[in-house]
Amino acid sequence: MFSGDQISGLFEQLGITHVVTVPDSTVGQWQTAIEQRGNTRVVRVCREGEAWQVAAGLMLGGARPIVLIQCTGLFESGDALRNAVHDWKLPIFSMIGYRSYLNQDTLPGDTCLVFTEPVLDAWKIDYKLITSPSQFPTLAEHYETCRAANRAGAILIAEGKA
């Protein structure tokens, strides 16, 4: 969908200081470019629940983090998200890989298609779904909109494989 150079440039443009991440086969491909550009630090965590709370700590400390995970990790990290975003009112932004959205060749019948968007709705996360490279400008627009409104937001990146 997007190259590492596009994403690392976007993060630089948005002033993102830290990307807290557990990779998948799509969003994980961006790590090298992000690190090579050098403006945004990659923070690797062991499970996605950690990512939300590390991002919360970064935000409390004055940094501008983003959480970068797959939708399966979103499912894992519900309580951490709930606490950071809704208890502590921290408007954490995330980019979430949407497994199997473009095709189900790897995982026919993948239930990520059933649960991802309802889970984001349940957690009251304002998200935009990106299904085409032509929607690249939406990433920055949605980030800036959520930032201006001081609310958590997410970009769902359609993926085609696990």
Partner 1 sequence: MNAKDALAVVHAARDAQDVVITTMTPARDWMTMPQSSLDMVLVPSAMSHATSMGLGVALAQPDRRVIVCNGDGSMLMNLGSLVSIVSADASNVIVIVFDNGTYEVTGSQPVPGAGATDFAMIARGAGFQTVLDFDSLDAWRDGIADALNKNGPTFAVLHVEPVVGLPGPRSPGPAGDRARRFMAALQR
State which amino acid sits at residue 38: G
43 is an interface residue for partner 1 by CB under 8 A = yes
Q: Please state the closest distance from residue 52 (CB atom) to partner 1, in A.
A: 8
Contact 127, 139 (CB under 8 A): no
For partner 1, which residue of 38, 62, 118, 137 counts as binding (CB under 8 A)? 62
- Please work out the total of residues on this chain that contact partner 1, with binding judged by CB under 8 A: 33
For partner 1, which residue of 10, 54, 96, 156 counts as binding (CB under 8 A)? 54
Which of 57/160 has CB closer to partner 1?
57
Alpha-carbon Rg for the chain, nearest whole angstrom, is 14
Contact 17, 46 (CB under 8 A): no
Stretch binding partner 1 (CB under 8 A), from 61-69, 107-115, 118-126, 152-160: 61-69
Q: Please state the closest distance from residue 23 (CB atom) to partner 1, in A.
A: 14
Question: Would you state the structure tokens that stand for residue 64, as one six-digit string?
Answer: 């501008």
13 is an interface residue for partner 1 by CB under 8 A = no
For partner 1, which residue of 61, 106, 124, 149 counts as binding (CB under 8 A)? 61
- The beta-carbon contacts of 29-36 under 8 Å, at least 24 apart in sequence, are 29/4, 30/2, 30/3, 30/4, 30/68, 31/4, 32/4, 33/3, 33/4, 33/5, 33/7, 33/8, 34/4, 34/7, 34/8, 36/8
Given the rule CB under 8 A, which residues bind partner 1?
Answer: 17-18, 20, 41, 43-47, 49-50, 52-63, 65, 79-80, 82-84, 87-90
